[in-house]
Amino acid sequence: MAKPRFPSASSSLSIQRAAERLKAGHLVAFPTETVYGLGADATNELAVKRIYEVKGRPLDHPLIVHISSINTLDTWATDVPNYALDLARMFWPGPMTLVLKRKEIAMDFITGGQDSVGIRVPSDPVALELLNRFEQLGGPGIAAPSANRFGQVSPTSAIDVQKEIGNYLSSQDSILEGGSSEIGIESTIIDCRNARPVFLRPGAITISMVESIVESVSESLVDSDVRVSGKLGKHYAPKARVIINQQPKPGQAFIALSSFPTPNGVHRILSPENSGDLAKNLYAGMRMADELGFNELVIVIPDGQGIEVALLDRVSKAAKGR
């Protein structure tokens, strides 16, 4: 799928070099259709440890392993239920992570000591080419959390990655360019270790999309014992205090669909036409509110059962922070 890219995406040569750096144990931040990831060879413990250092993330938080296609899923996972294969065939490459029973290759330093592993095939062309080239060098998968410092807003452009973690990277690490992320919020995470799928994190692949493939879906996030960092109180949070679904007051920054007018004295940050555009630009908008020095950011989330569920999830977590 061709998409316009400004600035232009990384060249094949720079992607090849990045794959070589990964294989040599360095870090590579790369674009995906959801958000930018901070990648390391998922089988290299020292490299993966550096991800935690750069992010400032607690060591018991598991990482998603990115692979190039469903064909290599059985390198990482075992006892994959049929419904999970159906989901993978339908939504990969794409913004969906499946939590599955791990194989030995998924070591404790990837899974946070859990017996499960999160796997995703991203659809961004730079990500896929990186994964393919890394595989040709003998690398079975790239571990990559979002390329932000722990608890901060995920980056959706190479520049935001640079601003967020550039100071923590070494000269051997690199950042691949891929324009701004198509979707803009993190992947849907579905636990597929039981008779029916359990939604752990909402995203662009919605419950009703999953229900069109699998019969009964459980939404219960609460009683699940798995560790998902998105379940922590404060997360995805800008410095500004986030206020949800209120009329903005003078002096506040404001994000809402274009159908909402901007009251006098309120600083409009984004006016997207629809929920998809809101998702695509939300994190950049939060960053902008901080860069402009606003203390308060009002965000209006549209009603809806599509991407709106994920939008409300992320913004609610941002709002919990202060």
Name the residues that contact ligand TXA, by CB under 6 A.
32, 34-35, 37, 61-64, 97, 99, 111, 114, 116-118, 120, 122, 144-146, 186-187, 189, 200, 226-230
Least distance (Å) from Mg ion to the CB of residue 145? 5
42 class by beta-carbon count within 10 Å (0-12 exposed, 13-18 middle, 19+ buried):
buried
- Count of residues in contact with Mg ion, rule CB under 5 A: 1
Residue 64's binding partner among ligand TXA, Mg ion, none (Cβ under 5 to 8 angstroms by kind) is: ligand TXA
- In SS3 terms, 217-246 reads as CECCCCCCCCCCHHHCCCCCCCCCEEEECC
Instruction: Please report how close the Cβ of residue 98 comes to ligand TXA at its closest, in angstroms.
Output: 10
Find which of ligand TXA, Mg ion, none residue 63 binds, CB within 5 to 8 Å per kind.
Answer: ligand TXA
Structure tokens at 95: 């913004």
Partner touching 35 among Mg ion, ligand TXA, none, CB below 5 to 8 Å by kind? ligand TXA
Query: What is the Cα–Cα distance from 251 to 5, expressed in whole angstroms?
Result: 34
Q: Which is nearer to ligand TXA, 51 or 255 (CB)?
A: 51
List phi, psi (to 5°) of 189.
-110, 125
| Residues 117-156 within binding reach of Mg ion (CB under 5 A) | 146
- Nearest distance from C-beta of residue 242 to ligand TXA, angstroms: 19
C-alpha span between 152 and 161 (Å, rounded) = 12
- Shortest CA distance to 295 belongs to which of 275, 314, 317, 267? 267
Structural element, H or E, at residue 160:
helix 158-165
Least gap, CB of 156 to ligand TXA (angstroms): 10
Dihedral over Cα of 33, 146, 322, 200: its sign: positive
Q: Which is nearer to ligand TXA, 158 or 253 (CB)?
A: 158
Smallest distance, ligand TXA to C-beta of residue 34, A? 3
**Nearest distance from residue 224's CB to ligand TXA, in Å?**
8
By beta-carbon distance, which residue lies closest to Mg ion?
Answer: 146
Residue 122 CB, nearest approach to ligand TXA (Å): 6
Contact 311, 185 (CB under 8 A): yes
Is the bond preceding residue 248 a cis peptide, omega within 30 degrees? Answer: no
CA angle 226, 229, 235 (to 5 degrees): 150
Partner residues linked to 98 by β-bridges: 119, 190
Task: Choose between 122 and 202: whose C-beta lies nearer to ligand TXA.
Answer: 122
Closer residue to Mg ion, CB minimum distance, 27 or 214:
27
Q: Is 109 or 294 the residue whose CB approaches ligand TXA more closely? A: 109
34 binds Mg ion (CB under 5 A): no
Chain residues that interact with Mg ion, rule: CB under 5 A = 146
